[in-house]
Amino acid sequence: MVNDAYRRGRSAAPSHGTMQRYSIFSLARNALTGHRNWQAAWRSPEPRPAYEVVIVGGGGHGLATAYYLAKEHGITNVAVLEKGWLGGGNTGRNTTVVRSNYLYDESAAIYEHSMKLWEGLAQELNYNVMFSQRGVLMLAHGSHDEQVLKRHIHADRLNGIDNEWLTPAQAKAFCPPLNIGKELRYPVTGAALQRRGGTARHDAVAWGYARGADARGVDIIQNCAVTGVRRDGDRVVGVETTRGYIAAGKVGVVAAGHTSVVMAMAGLRMPIESVPLQALVSEPVKPVFPCVAMSNAIHAYISQSDKGELVIGAGTDQYVSYGQRGSFHIAEHTLEAIVELFPIFSRLRMLRQWAGIVDCTPDRSPILARTPVRGLYVNCGWGTGGFKATPGSGHVFAHTIARDEPHPINAPFTLERFRTGRLIDEAAAAAVAH
Ligand code: FAD
Ligand code: PYC
């Protein structure tokens, strides 16, 4: 019999056979009873009048922050306030590429910290996040791309991060659908490969962290939008919400595309532009695409989900917007590039298209920091590439909130750098989507 402690993520997993029997009986029982007895993975409590810490935003980063606050710092008097549903923002809209092949030491440290957490995340959360290290291939189309990618390879290796150079023939051997013909408008001249890179299941990451945080006493409150941030002088004291005022000793804003909106409620102007980033999936086909392939130069990337759909992504729309759509011409341009690089997909039909709003900083690096308002912390600016950082970001942001000082890994990712000029320019590593 599978017990509640296991389902709530508190005890070790039962054997495979036990699990299978449980799943079959549980599915049948719940199908016949209209899911009435299906135990929720987390509670839906009413908001309390006050918390030690309030996290604004129930995406992966907010939930991971709450999880590590409880687990690593013993702070369980925490609420995560989400205006919609968990993971309904960029966490559930992204294309799930995970890699740590960034250029600068500061970035290498934070993305590799995250990669290491990914490598144990299913065990940590006792939840299958379907992390698949199938390799991320970044294509070069000429000497400029080659120099940029090789510079990344050398820098990564100095930081102990795997990254290697492949010839066009080696790239094709790794990714057979790739067209390495010379007739292409932008022929493939080589590729950088991070073998430990790959994909994960985005919803599962949110759900796994939510279940783990809830099991440690965190209140996860959906359909609760923050509409105001209350200050007493230079100190934050609480938040106004659609479900009433909630007092808070500390507030962490983890609202991705809406960071500027929420921070403006506290009287702070952020160095951020919010733009749509879109993605598409094809009709499902049998396993045909073994890795993630990205071409920064021609703005396209592709992988295949476990359902069989080809997951295809594009660059950002170049205008500020909060409409989660994305323009047709961007999708059209991306599909032209995909069909040229992978001609076997030319007759596949596209099934769905959507967008998320991503918050981009001038140097394409995140901000994880204290703010000039005491007790108010911000985690944002991940732009088009924050899914991969979810575990690491939550881990170091929890440290920052709990101790009121940054973890050494996020110390460089301050707000002040946009005033002092000490930028961490990752425009090239940010890849296709920028
Ligand atoms: P979100 O998941 O957006 O969470 C923020 C939450 O805050 C939302 O749920 C929102 O509803 C909530 N919120 C906002 N305002 C309020 C309020 N006033 N009150 C309460 N709640 C509020 N990254 C990668 O690493 N790899 C990829 O392959 C990749 N692909 C992408 C593809 C697309 C199409 C998009 C849009 C993004 C992609 N990204 C990718 C970026 C990645 O999705 C984000 O950086 C990351 O998911 C951000 O996580 P988050 O938890 O900060 O944000
Ligand atoms: O950051 O690797 C990335 C990415 C891929 C697609 C969107 N972002």
**380 within 8 A of 410, measured Cβ to Cβ:** no
The domain locations on the chain are 50-126+202-271+368-420, 136-200+274-360
**385 in ligand 2 pocket by Cβ < 6 Å?**
yes
Alpha carbons 95 and 300: distance in angstroms, whole number = 12
Q: Do domains 50-126+202-271+368-420 and 136-200+274-360 have the same CATH topology?
A: no
DSSP 38: P
CA 389 to ligand 1: nearest atom: 25
Residue type at 11 in one-letter notation: S
Alpha carbons 8 and 23: distance in angstroms, whole number = 15
Cα Rg, the chain, nearest whole Å: 22
User: How far, in Å, from the CA of 316 to the mean position of ligand 2?
Assistant: 11
CA 99 to ligand 2: nearest atom: 2
**431 in ligand 2 pocket by Cβ < 6 Å?**
yes
**Ligand sitting nearest the alpha carbon of 432:** 2
pLDDT digit string (tens) for 38-78?
789 999 999 999 999 999 999 999 999 999 999 999 999 99
Q: What is the CATH number of domain 50-126+202-271+368-420?
A: 3.50.50.60
CB within 8 A of 116, min separation 6: which ones? none
pLDDT digit string (tens) for 208-246?
999 999 999 999 999 999 999 999 999 999 999 999 999
Closest CA to ligand 2's atom 3 = 385
Q: Are strands 190-194 and 198-199 parallel, antiparallel or unpaired?
A: unpaired
Cα–Cα distance list, 366 to 99, 102, 106, 139, 176 (Å): 16, 13, 11, 25, 35
- Which of 38, 62, 113, 99 has the alpha carbon at shortest distance from 294? 99
Q: Which residues form the pocket of ligand 1, taking CB atoms under 6 Å from any ligand atom?
A: 56-62, 81-84, 88-91, 93-97, 225-226, 254-258, 262, 277-279, 313, 355-356, 358, 382, 384-388
User: How far, in Å, from the CA of 332 to the mean position of ligand 1?
Assistant: 24
Q: Given this model, what pLDDT does residue 31 score?
A: 78
User: How far, in Å, from the CA of 188 to the mean position of ligand 2?
Assistant: 20
The domain 136-200+274-360 having CATH identifier 3.30.9.10: the answer here is yes
18, HSE (Cβ side, Cα atoms, 13 Å): 8
User: How far, in Å, from the CA of 268 to the mean position of ligand 2?
Assistant: 28
Alpha carbons 150 and 158: distance in angstroms, whole number = 12
**Ligand sitting nearest the alpha carbon of 240:** 1
pLDDT at 155 over 50: yes
Residue type at 296 in one-letter notation: N
**211 within 8 A of 63, measured Cβ to Cβ:** no
Phi/psi at 430 (5° precision): -65, -20
User: How far, in Å, from the CA of 91 to the mean position of ligand 1?
Assistant: 5
Residue type at 347 in one-letter notation: R
**97 in ligand 2 pocket by Cβ < 6 Å?**
yes
CA 433 to ligand 2: nearest atom: 7
Q: Given this model, what pLDDT does residue 27 score?
A: 75
User: How far, in Å, from the CA of 69 to the mean position of ligand 2?
Assistant: 27
pLDDT digit string (tens) for 72-107?
999 999 999 999 999 999 999 999 999 999 999 999
pLDDT digit string (tens) for 326-346?
899 999 999 999 999 999 999
Average pLDDT rounded to a whole number, residues 260-288: 97
**71 in ligand 2 pocket by Cβ < 6 Å?**
no
The residue whose two tokens read 């090789």 is: 150
CB within 8 A of 36, min separation 6: which ones? none
**337 within 8 A of 178, measured Cβ to Cβ:** no
- Which of 159, 206, 211 has the alpha carbon at shortest distance from 391? 206
User: How far, in Å, from the CA of 340 to the mean position of ligand 1?
Assistant: 30
**152 within 8 A of 217, measured Cβ to Cβ:** no
pLDDT at 137 over 50: yes
217 vs 31, residue with greater confidence: 217
